[in-house]
Structure 1
Amino acid sequence: MSMILTGKLELSSTHPVETRSGNTSTFTRVDFPTPFPTGSDVIVHATVQTFNGADTPGVRLHDVGETGFLIRLNELYGAGTKSNGEHGPETIGWTAYTV
């Protein structure tokens, strides 16, 4: 049986780009309004819904599970220049479902 959940949140970043794998101290936790059944394979898609800054924001996800996920917003690297990782508030829409 498939299950689909959706949501949105306001997210910004005042932290530098994270370069150490697994460091999620600057991520935000999103809890699903209804958890998926235990043992579910959960997929999350997140998309920036607004355009509140000239630089392109990136979205990183981590620790996706039956009860929620971690998310972080930071500016992307581009054209040979490194971003400082900081970005103003944007609305992020997300969809989670089982496969």
Structure 2
Amino acid sequence: MSMVQSGKLTLSSDNATETVGGRTTTFTQVTFPTPFPAGSEVVVQTTVQTFNGPETPGVRLHDVSNTGFLIRFNELYGGGVTSDGKHTAETVGWTAYTI
């Protein structure tokens, strides 16, 4: 049986763009209201729901588990686009479900 949870948070970034994979010291922990059953395969999808800052806030996720996930803004970087990584507060909605 599939299980679904959702929520939203206010997220901002006072940090430089992170360019090293796996470095998560600037991420924010989100804990699910109810843990998914142990051993579940959990998928998290996010959507930025506001437009408060002019730069595009890329959303990075890490360490998705049955109890929560890590999230941060990482403004778009590369392909000729350079960002300082800092971004004002935006509302981010998330949906987590088991597959």
What range describes the TM-score normalised by the shorter chain of this pair? over 0.9
Q: Which amino acid aligns with 2:70?
A: L
Give every structure 1 segment of 4 or more consecutive aligned residues whose post-TM-superposition deviation is greater than 2 Å: none
Contact map agreement 2:48 2:90 (CA 8 A) in 1: yes
**Partners of 2:23 and 2:76 in 1: how far apart?**
18
Identity of aligned residues (%): 67
Q: What is the distance in 2 between the residues matched to 1:74 and 1:18?
A: 7
Correspondence for 1:32: 32
Residue 54 (structure 1) shift: 1.1
**SS of the residue aligned with 1:80?**
coil
> For the Cα contact (< 8 Å) 1:12–1:74, is it kept in 2?
no
User: Larger strand proportion, structure 1 or 2?
Assistant: 1
Structure 2 residue matching 1:51: 3-state secondary structure: coil
What is the SS of the residue equivalent to 1:8?
strand
Q: Which residue of 2 aligns with 1:43?
A: 43
Q: Distance in 2 between the 1:96 and 1:47 partners?
A: 12
Using structure 1 for the length normalisation, give the TM-score.
Answer: 0.96
Contact in 2 for aligned 1:13/1:73 (Cα 8 Å): yes
The count of aligned residue pairs is: 99
Q: Which residue of 2 aligns with 1:87?
A: 87
TM-score after normalising by structure 2: 0.96
Gaps of 5+ in 2: none
What is the correspondence of 1:1-99 to structure 2 with a 5 Å cutoff?
A: 1-77=1-77, 80-99=80-99
What amino acid is aligned across from residue 10 of structure 1 in structure 2?
T
Contact 1:26 1:72 in 2 (8 A): yes
Q: CA RMSD in A?
A: 1.1
